[in-house]
Structure 1
Amino acid sequence: MAEALTIARPYAKAAFETAQAKQQLAAWSRMLAAAAAGVGEPVVQTLLGSPKLPKQQIAQIFIELVGQELGDSGANFIRLLAENRRLGLLPVIAQVFAQLRADAERTIEATVISASPLGDEERAALARALKKRLNREVTLQCETDPRLIGGAVIRAGDLVIDGSVRSKLERLGLALAR
């Protein structure tokens, strides 16, 4: 993964700079997401692995497969990736692009896993607290996991806050075992 990330990063940065200059970040996000999803198709995997097909033909087939979402700039980007045999990196490129966009827009998506569903007031209070701590606009994705017993686990980027009763009991058990 580290090698793929290293190779994908310059492509993602170039796509981001192009999209930002044209004020098309949302359109490029959709295009890259569609292209990344297209790479996961079994037919495309076979196509990408074929040494017999010329690079230009692979690019054209892929562009036709992904369809309307691309536009001219997106199609040119796909041709560039195909020319360098990098179409398989589209999922990683899309991921890096999304992170660059989030950084530029000062946004972050946080996942909250709680033992029981959160109410609207709890969600709003949690979003405000995370916004203050992370200095970014926060979008909350809420999930439930009754195995947590109580409390919640929050994941936002590299930050993980584990306030679940389950983890507190595990830490207490470890402390008592010493």
Structure 2
Amino acid sequence: MPVSIIPFNMPEPAAIPPHIVASLEAMSPDEAVIQGMDLLLGIEAADTIVYERVGQGVVHTAGAGAEVLQRVLEQDSVRSFADQDGVGNSALLLVGQASADEESPLPAGVVRFLLEGAEGGSIGFSYVLPLKASDGRLWGALTLIRRAASGPLNHEQPNLCEGMRRVLSRMRD
């Protein structure tokens, strides 16, 4: 099965504590998103997170292999996680079995990164979360990458991710 890109409805958001929201709102939009990424890594919502702005590419990567992934993403000026079909309408789930040399709609080299040096296998579970202004305009995306060994989001993680996505989306209003 090749890489599948599936529209994914996130659950109801968990409430983000007011002191965290206030702290994020006091920062510049990019600083707030980067801090939000650190908070999501802290609850083990992802092994690696990518922050992209639409039309501008990668702003920041964090977590396991972040520097390697940033270099991979900077090599492809055409494709990005934030530009995947459907990302503005809903979150996307990226899953499947892949081979390192197969063509995919993902940025060049990303499948190889997700396979962690293997020639084929599971790419794990990646969630592309749209960052949208209050007028509905897509301005960026957070991609939460979970290795196959980490499994999908579980327990309260999806709710916390959706809560954080909504808080961070407001940063460009």
Query: Do these two structures clear the TM 0.5 threshold for a shared fold by scoring above it?
Result: no
In terms of fraction of residues, the more helix-rich structure is 1
In terms of fraction of residues, the more strand-rich structure is 2
